């Protein structure tokens, strides 16, 4: 990661809140005075298919998509999707992966397809820094399963050079007022997890 240039890849399954996460990152980067481009595919991909959002920030950004092997940070809302995206990462990048498994019907109904329950281990063979997060459990504990994206963002924020205040401001801008408080709490939980990771 150099010159304030970051490529962040966010992946998940349609309906998991991937797009809000990338909106928040973009907002924080704009507030820091950086150029931002972000790209994702709408349409068919929303119906339970793979959703990926590319966010690129820096002094001047050209391509709105991340070149292969150039992502500094990966956020994955589902462990198999994390593995699917692993080759987009720099070898020294950070992957933050929710340990959730979502198994599609095409796998349950077809004998020759299997689900990689060992996704995290396989990712660790390729990347030095893979962080599994029990984001679903934490979200349930906080009382709202939709907080997964904010928890993962909180973890990620530990690896980007923006202060907590900017993240909180972005959350206040982009999240509906009645959900702001609980999202700030979820973000803080994630940020603490990152702090523990850095220590160990």
Tokens of 32: 């820091």
Q: Is 178 in the site for other proteins (CB under 8 A)?
A: no
13 is a contact residue toward other proteins (CB under 8 A): yes
Q: Does 176 bind other proteins (CB under 8 A)?
A: no
Backbone angles phi, psi at 135, to 5 degrees: -65, -35
Residue 33, by phi and psi: left (phi above 0), alpha (psi -120 to 50) or beta?
A: left
Residue span binding other proteins (CB under 8 A) among the ranges 104-112, 135-143, 178-186, 190-198: 104-112
- Comparing CB distances to other proteins, the nearer of 80 and 156 is 80
Q: Does 144 bind other proteins (CB under 8 A)?
A: no
Minimum distance, C-beta of residue 196 to other proteins, in the bound complex (Å): 28
| Minimum distance of other proteins from residue 200's CB (angstroms) | 27
First-to-last alpha carbon distance for the chain, in angstroms, is: 21
Helix (H) or strand (E) holding 97, with range, is strand 89-98
Between strands 6-13 and 50-58, the pairing is antiparallel
State whether residue 60 is helix, strand or coil.
coil
Q: Which residues bind other proteins (CB under 8 A)?
A: 13-14, 26-27, 30, 35-50, 61-65, 67-70, 80-81, 83-84, 86-87, 103-110, 113-116, 122, 145
């Amino acid at each position: 990661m150099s010159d304030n240039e970051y490529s962040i890849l966010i992946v998940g399954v349609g309906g998991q809140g991937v797009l809000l996460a990338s909106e928040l990152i973009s907002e924080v980067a704009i507030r820091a005075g950086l150029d931002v481009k972000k790209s994702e595919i709408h349409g068919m991909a929303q119906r339970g298919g793979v959703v990926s959002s590319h966010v690129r920030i820096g002094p001047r950004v050209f391509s709105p998509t991340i070149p292969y092997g150039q992502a500094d940070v990966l956020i994955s809302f589902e462990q198999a999707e994390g593995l699917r995206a692993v080759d987009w990462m720099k070898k020294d990048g950070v992957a933050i992966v929710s340990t959730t498994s979502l198994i599609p019907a095409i796998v349950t109904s077809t004998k020759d397809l299997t689900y990689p329950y060992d996704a995290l281990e396989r990712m660790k063979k390729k990347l030095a820094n893979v962080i599994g997060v029990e984001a679903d459990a934490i979200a349930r504990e906080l009382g709202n399963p939709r907080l997964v994206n904010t928890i993962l963002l909180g973890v990620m924020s530990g690896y980007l050079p923006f202060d907590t205040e900017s993240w909180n401001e972005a959350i206040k801008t982009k999240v509906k007022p009645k959900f702001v408080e609980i999202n700030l709490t979820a973000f803080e939980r994630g940020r603490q997890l990152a702090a523990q990771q850095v220590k160990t």
